[in-house]
Structure 1
Amino acid sequence: MSTILDLATAEKEMALKWLEFTVAGFVKNMRQLRIKDTGALMASFKKQVIATADGRLQLDLSYALYGKFIDMGVGRGMGLGVKKGDDGFDRIRNSRGQLKRYGRKARKWYSKELAFQTKRLAELMSELHGTILISTVADALPTETIAITF
């Protein structure tokens, strides 16, 4: 029973550290790509680890929605209801419909980092489970010397 509690505690601690490290990676990517107009996106990260009744962990990582649009390179268009020929259209876009002032360019601060960190979390959790499994088996073995020949 204590091994199960130790495993749950170790999983939760690892998940919290992983969330901290992942958010730090996101902020580092935003600084490198100069995504810090107001700093609101960097400050919008909220993270939480929730342990469910069946022993599973749920990680909650949230941030401002417009951060995804920056990652995809979309947005910064016209207001709602502005049509070709309106004053707002000509002021913001050229005759081909392209933005005059802002060029949309995907700045991948989120997608690559999340894919890498998710894979890394899976590796860390499987390593943790393997280590605990080995220690549990070692504790359950008799104290006598066991010789295995191949």
Structure 2
Amino acid sequence: MTEEQLNQAQLKLAEQWLDITVTNFIENMRKLRIKNTGALMASFKKQVIGSASGRLQLQLSYALYGKFVDMGVGRGMGAGVRRGDDGYERIRNTRGQLKRRQRKAKPWYPKAIGYQTKRLAELMSELHGTLLISAVSDALPAQDVTLNF
């Protein structure tokens, strides 16, 4: 396997991994019922960046809102809404507490990214192991080798 073939194989593997990872994230969100407007699910952007030295960089981004959902934090109001504004009494009581249910963390991110990162490392190791085996088999002589101890 040549250097160019290895780079192409790595690029293809990275793109497939990103597709599967985003699919798993969206599946987790559906399972946890995180689909208020669907904006978080639609915000995923993925990109594979290659460099001249042959190293790949993967970029996966999503809306910042996803972190707040994951941790179960946030104000629960739109930006700029202050005490005394029209929307404030609709969302909070006079003591500033939310009128609706208490926020609850919905961990859609940590376990999935941990597993997916480990899986990517395994896949890349397997790809490089295959390359190593093919290089060694190409370097071996065509005849039988006998070893005397």
**Do both share a fold (TM > 0.5)?**
yes
SS at match of 1:48: strand
Instruction: Please state how far the C-alpha of 1:80 moved relative to its aligned partner.
Output: 4.8
Deviation track 1:19-60 (CA, whole Å, cap 9, x = no partner) reads 000000001001000111111111111111111011100101
When residues 149 and 51 of structure 1 are mapped into structure 2, their CA distance, relative to the original with a 3 A threshold, is: farther
C-alpha distance in 2 between matches for 1:14 and 1:130: 15
Give 5+ residue unaligned stretches, structure 2.
Answer: none
Residue correspondences, number: 146
In 1: Cα distance, 2:90 partner to 2:48 partner: 49
Once the two structures are aligned, what percentage of the paired residues are identical?
Answer: 60
**What displacement does 1:90 show?**
9.3
Matches within 5 A, 1:1-150: 3-78=2-77, 80=80, 82=82, 88=88, 92-93=92-93, 95=95, 98-147=97-146
TM (normalized to structure 2)?
0.86
Q: Flag the 1:6–1:75 CA change in 2: closer, same or farther, 3 A.
A: same
Deviation at 1:91, TM superposition (A): 5.7
* Contact in 1 for aligned 2:43/2:63 (Cα 8 Å): yes
Q: With the length of structure 1 as denominator, give the TM-score of the two structures.
A: 0.85
Residue pair 1:72, 1:108 contacting (<8 A) in 2 also? yes
